[in-house]
Amino acid sequence: MYCSSRLRAFAAAATLLAAAAIAHAQAALPNVVILATGGTIAGAGASAINSATYAAAKVGVDKLIAGLPELSKVANVKGEQVFQVASESLTNDNLLTLAKRVSALAKQPDVDGIVITHGTDTVEETAYFLTLTVHTNKPIVMVASMRPGTALSADGALNLYDAVSVAGSKDAMGKGVLLTMNDSIESGRDVSKNFNIKPSAFVSQWGSLGMVVEGRNYWFRAPVKRHTMNSEFDIDTITSLPPVEIAMGYEGVASTAIDALGKSGIKALIHGGPGNGSVADRIVPSLQKLRADGIVVIRSSRVPDGFVIRNAEQPDDKYDWVVAHDLRPQKARILAMVALTKTSDTKELQRIFWEY
């Protein structure tokens, strides 16, 4: 009887010690919140061989987390379903909602990092918007996948594991918004989707910031453009975004799109031209008219790499146009919308495009 009582006491003590050890281990882990928005990472195909044909935004965040128990080894993870949308259908209002939620979470002392699951089609745009507007030095990590979780060689699980690992890392602090995919850590400002079906779809023309391998970060460069804590823009003060549209330049282009957009109430037009953001001679008058009507004209380039040189190809000073520096048209639109919440002065806008 005595021995039995002692054994029960020892067992109870061992259980308490084990629970204390688990609690201590959990307390030592970073706290990471996963905000889910949809996309391929939450997609499902009809069979395992469907890696390019599938339905996006089908799996909820709780199921994503439950399907990856390894996350508990790198962070204390909580999930929130912000919305469930294929990223090509996201709106400006979605951007504002997401950014405001990220900003609120970043202010919480019990949150060390934030992960956002997103569709690949527009993840670079959302990443840049957050880069410009959320004031925090805590890691904000975008993550996506090129294949649904039901496919052979699905990439979403490892991408998500890497994202949580990076978001909980102290060495990721202060580096702006990041994207982790295919083992790479990319700058949210610089990264672009360059291939529509390969897992290695995302690249930055100025190079990756680093790599994450088996939960360890390896850094090779840091962003130098203004971002997050150093940004003059703050999502907590932005209530709406002005309309900005894109018109592409190409051989044989007519002024039809530009003329129509000029009558639609836009505040700025991004011209995505060939080469150095070149503008066909026959549409210059239409762009000049837009500027005369108070619409800001921004010259960008459809070329994947390089940057637009001011007063080359077109006399930007004479026409009072802005150049988009190295931003592709879709990212130039994001910066233009954010910048126009502060100013419509073209000299100030040009400064902003140089600095961000």
- CA dist., res. 150 & res. 59, Å (int): 11
Q: What is the DSSP letter of 128?
A: H
194 is written with which tokens? 């360059």
CA 254 to chain CA mean position, Å:
33
Catalytic choice (37, 117, 120, 136): 120
Q: What is the DSSP letter of 170?
A: G
Say whether 150 is catalytic: no
Other C-beta atoms within 10 Å of 115: how many?
A: 29
CA 146 to chain CA mean position, Å:
15
Say whether 40 is catalytic: yes
CB 82 within 8 A of CB 101: yes
Q: What is the DSSP letter of 147?
A: S
Catalytic choice (40, 117, 133, 150): 40
Phi and psi based region of residue 126 (left: phi greater than 0; alpha: psi -120 to 50; beta: remaining): alpha
> Roughly what angle, to the nearest 10 degrees, separates helices 123-133 and 92-106?
50
Beta bridge mates, 78: 33
Residues catalogued as catalytic: 40, 120
